[in-house]
Structure 1
Amino acid sequence: MNLCKDALKVLEETSRTFYIPISRLPDGLQDAVASAYLCMRAIDEIEDHPNLDNLTKAQLLKTISLKLQSMVEGTAVADFLMLLTNHSYPLPEVTIRIGEWAKLAPETIAPRIWDTTAAMADRMAHWALVGWKIDTEADLDCYTFSVAGAVGLLLSDLWAWYDGTSTNRSQAIGFGRGLQAVNILRNCGEDMIRGVDFLPNGWTKENMHIYARRNLSLADAYTNALPKGPALDFCRIPLALAHATLDVLVLGEPKLNRNAVMSLIAQVSGRK
């Protein structure tokens, strides 16, 4: 099995929602977006690992960041394996194989993906060390940029690299922040169990809904401005799911059910 097919297999096991739009991207762009998504999912699994203490998480994330910053064409995948396989608590496959995902990207855009992932790993390490302490809306903006707004910027760079598509970068940040805000609301209960509260002091879920809607409006503007093509096809699926998830959360449902997800994807993409 070649690396791209194997990456799509791991992607499908990790996130069916993102597997669908990524699997429909054209060659070249598909490799780039899959590389970016899997690299970021790899470090996200460390941030959310239920059995690692915060110091260990920060050390792992900083080590990965340094390794990505020193990446060159000949960097061996084994260098990453040595870093990630000797721990008391095993890490998931998507994390252990981050070296492979990093090398999946086309060489003309790979350094941009490595740079974004390295920066995100450093930021995640910071948040792990401070226990994800968010006191103010400015703190929340900082966190949502760290783990999602920067992803919106990377996507804009990937669209421009592939076919010259130009985007509003402030709206691109809102695209990432909006999706992340919905994730925070959806995972509120699980986060509380592990002792993490992303809501600023004095905020209720209603305040967080307002924050999410405000950023999703930027995401709407970002997506509506995209020309017909792979960028638009990709972005409108997670955006539609974010809006729909926010709607069911308001109604007291914990999340969209699988049938609703698949129906919405078919409706948005025009494909079953």
Structure 2
Amino acid sequence: MQLCKSALEVLEETSRTFYIPISRLPSGLQEAVASGYLCMRAIDEIEDHPSLDNALKAKLLQIISLTLQAGTHEMKASDLSTALSDYKELLPEVSLRIGEWALLAPDTIAPRIWDATAAMADRMAYWACINWQIKDKADLDRYTFGVAGAVGLLLSDLWAWYDNTQTSRTQAIGFGRGLQAVNILRNHAEDLTRGVDFYPQGWSDEQMHTYARENLRMADEYTAALSLGPALDFCRIPLALAHATLDALSQGEAKLSRSTVMDLVKQLTSTPV
């Protein structure tokens, strides 16, 4: 199966960080990982939508979850586009086309991606309903697992499906949690302006930095255990960018500059980007 050009274009528009490693994956695995990423990004855009109220966010996420749970080999992209048609003026392209992304993956792994997306949509709906109230570290662990640690588990399943690469599932969760924790730190000020705070009550930036680094240590162990091949090639780039972003935030910078990102990716891929 060849990833359609339109999907690659949407992938590049939504995240160059993940577009680069996904575009380098071999055929078959590329479609599977792109399907998973675009489906997750589709629901993430709903969770983070700046103008939708929380009740509508929860409703849309539950519509997506239920539609995917009813999915079979006969599922059509229109099943989801029809379910979301009443909201086409509100939602971004990546969300409206989630039905297409769900069908990108090979048939032998697509249901695992539908399951992961449906479960994540349900978890996001729950957090939207309670306005992302993170009371303590246990809540933070629940949230970062629900929206990112579970992605690490999905990736581990995709590596095993493609070439039987076996990974630590605990470390896979740390991989996802670590990347998400860095995102929480990077977006903290912006999140506060829309009335959302992912920090546990009373936590400082220093405590969140510690949480991020603890999980990135597991991500480092996860990546270090991978043999040369597609899984390692994929994981190295977002992990390196997460470490660099955390270092930049520690030094008072708002984010990595585009030139720094480009230089780092070039070092990791040895090819122009």
TM-score range (shorter-chain normalised) is: over 0.9
Contact map agreement 2:88 2:96 (CA 8 A) in 1:
no
Misfit runs of 4+, over 3 Å: none
**Secondary structure at the residue paired with 2:103?**
helix
Match of 1:234 in 2: 234
Corresponding residue for residue 252 of structure 1: 252
Could you tell me how far 1:267 is from its partner in structure 2? 0.7
CA distance in structure 2 between the partners assigned to 1:235 and 1:121 by the alignment: 24
Preserved CA contact (<8 Å) 1:52 1:89: no
Residues 1-272 of structure 1: matches in 2 within 5 Å?
4-87=4-87, 89-272=89-272
What's the offset of the Cα at 1:176?
A: 0.2
Matched AA of 1:130: I
1:24-80 deviations in whole A, cap 9, x for unaligned?
A: 000000000000000000000000001110000001001100000111121122221
Deviation at 1:270, TM superposition (A): 2.2
* Alpha-carbon separation, structure 2, partners of 1:22 and 1:88: 28
Deviation at 1:3, TM superposition (A): 5.6
TM-score normalised over the length of structure 2:
0.97
Take 2:114 and 2:43, find their aligned partners in 1: how far apart are those partners?
12
How many residue pairs match? The answer is: 271
Q: CA RMSD in A?
A: 1.0
- How far the C-alpha of 1:96 sits from its partner, in A, is 0.3
Structure 2: how far apart are the matches of 1:46 and 1:218?
Answer: 29
Q: Counterpart of 2:50 in structure 1: which amino acid?
A: P
* One-letter amino acid matched to 1:183: N
Kindly indicate whether the alpha-carbon contact (under 8 Å) linking 1:39 and 1:101 is maintained by their aligned counterparts in 2.
yes
Aligned identity (percent) is: 69
- Give per-residue Cα distances to partners, 1:175-210, cap 9 Å, x unaligned: 000000000000001100110001111110000000
* Shift, 1:87, TM fit: 2.5
Cα deviation 1:229-258 (Å, max 9, x = unaligned)? 000000010000000000000111110011
Q: TM-score, normalised by structure 1?
A: 0.98
* Structure-1 separation of matches of 2:36 and 2:201: 33
The Cα shift of 1:89 comes to: 4.9
Distance, in Å, in 2 between the alignment partners of 1:82 and 1:153 is 30
Q: Secondary structure at the match of 1:81?
A: helix
User: Any unmatched runs of 5+ in structure 2?
Assistant: none
Unaligned residue ranges in structure 1 (runs of 5+): none
